[in-house]
Amino acid sequence: MTRRTSKPLRIGKVTVGGNAPIAVQSMTKTDTRDIRATVNQVKELEDCGCEIVRVAVPDKEAAESLAAIKKSVSLPLIADIHFDYRLALAALGAGVDGLRLNPGNIGDKEQIAKVVAAAKERSVPIRIGINAGSLPADFQPKAPMAKRMVKMALEQIRLMESLDFDLIKVSLKAFDVPTTIRAYQMIADKIPYPLHLGITEAGLPRTGAVRSATGIGILLYQGIGDTVRVSLSAHPCEEVFVAYEILKSLGLRQRGPTLVSCPSCGRAEVDIIALAEAVSKRLGKITAPIRVAVMGCVVNGPGEARDADVGIACGKGKGAIFRKGSIINTVNEKDLLEALIAEAERIEQALGCGIG
């Protein structure tokens, strides 16, 4: 996993690209014209670890809400614009930290030039956000989709560069995972700009999280990607949660506890699934990046539990509590949950993370 070199840029207080941590972003699902609801959702997103937030700006009234929203939130704010370049100008006027334009529908070169000039004046980056579903049907109709997406992106990039603008970020999203991967791979060597990863319209969490993890995980493992937005038909905090789980799986970010738990099998002598669920619920209050293991038997149990900061390996009616490689206690089954959580809390306090 050697990360592709990209030219870092700033979205408000957050650096995207270069050696900066891969940033997690999401999008509000409230009506942007409803300032209070949108501000509340941005704050929820901040609380759940989102680092950059995007809001849809479908009309003039939404654009006019942006100034008030921006004033009430501390997360960097990106305006998502389609169809009407004047909304982009209005969003820049309202002080947004970034723009996302869809080159498939934003307007002609002259209109784009006006937006680029206004963004340049304010040093506001623009994401060229290509979606397979919104490429004009008459654009390179015979080429494979990934190639069409890349060609459209490169055309827009060259246009912006010709206007002496380089605060560019690019995304190339499709629902189809191999198409998405090919598109990002194709563009990765051709441009120096940060890449925003996502699998578009991935669906409900149960399927969309798997689809997103497969596609985004493969790209990140190839060193491609500077910021991630998981698209799920769900509350946006679920998108943030899944994004962090992908990044945590690859060791690229840390956030909160990680639960190692065995799938259970005919060997388990306690109800390991119920125990893992109870532990997970209680770990929700812990913010330290500790590894907690809940293991059902002696096969991998002690081995994995030893590897964890704290763990239990269950036997018949009782379990051993491990802390950093040493058995510190053996307790009855009914006391396992409390004993494990007490240890996790002690570790968190020792790390100075407090219980949030």
Closest to 63 (Cα-Cα) out of 103, 104, 134, 115: 115
By CB under 8 A, the residues from 118 to 147 that bind a copy of itself are: 131-135
Structure tokens at 232: 């799920």
The contacts of residue 99 (CB under 8 Å, 6+ apart) are 78, 79, 81, 88, 91, 92, 115, 119, 124, 125, 126, 127
Smallest separation, CB 148 to a copy of itself (Å)? 12
Site for a copy of itself in 334-353 (CB under 8 A): none
DSSP H stretches of helix in 225-333: 236-249, 272-283, 301-307
Residue among 167 and 172 whose Cβ is closer to a copy of itself: 172
The binding track of 1-40 with respect to a copy of itself, each residue x by CB under 8 A or -, is: x-------------------------xxxxxxx----x--
**Rule CB under 8 A: which of 162-181 touch a copy of itself?**
175-178, 181
In the set 226, 239, 343, 348, which binds a copy of itself (CB under 8 A)? 239
Q: Least separation, in Å, of the C-beta of 113 and a copy of itself? A: 23
| Residue span binding a copy of itself (CB under 8 A) among the ranges 3-11, 86-94, 302-310, 340-348 | 302-310
Q: Which helix (H) or strand (E) segment is 212 a member of?
A: helix 205-221
Which of residues 266 and 352 has its CB atom nearest to a copy of itself in the complex?
266
Residue nearer to a copy of itself on the CB measure, 98 or 208: 208
Smallest gap from Cβ 237 to a copy of itself, in A, equals 12
User: Which of residues 64, 245, 333, 335 is near a copy of itself by CB under 8 A?
Assistant: 245
**Do 7 and 168 touch, CB atoms closer than 8 A?**
no
Interface of this chain with a copy of itself, residues 51 to 110, rule: CB under 8 A: 55-58, 62, 80, 82, 102, 105
Q: Sign of dihedral through CA atoms 43, 47, 52, 57?
A: negative
The smaller minimum CB distance to a copy of itself, of residues 15 and 30, is found at: 30
- 141/233 Cα distance (integer angstroms): 30
DSSP secondary structure letters along 245-274: HHHHHTTS---S-EEEE----TT-SS-HHH
**Residue number, 1 or 350, with CB nearest to a copy of itself:** 1
Judging by beta carbons within 10 Å of its beta carbon (0-12, 13-18, 19+), is residue 206 exposed, middle or buried? exposed
Tell me the number of residues near a copy of itself by CB under 8 A.
86
Strands 9-11 and 14-16, sheet pairing: antiparallel
Whichever of 49 and 217 has its CB closer to a copy of itself, that residue is 217
- Provide the 3-class DSSP secondary structure of residue 123: coil
- Count the alpha carbons within 13 Å of 194 in the hemisphere toward its beta carbon: 25
The β-bridge partners of 173 are: 131
CB of 161 to a copy of itself, least distance (A): 26
Candidates 16, 116, 262, 321: give the one binding a copy of itself (CB under 8 A): 262
Using CB under 8 A as the binding rule, the residues of this chain from 192 to 221 that contact a copy of itself are 200-211, 213-215, 217-218, 221
The answer to whether 209 touches 232, Cβ cutoff 8 Å, is yes
Six-digit token string for 175: 């629902």
Nearer to a copy of itself, 165 or 184 (CB): 184
Binding residue for a copy of itself, selected from 6, 25, 227, 264, defined by CB under 8 A = 264
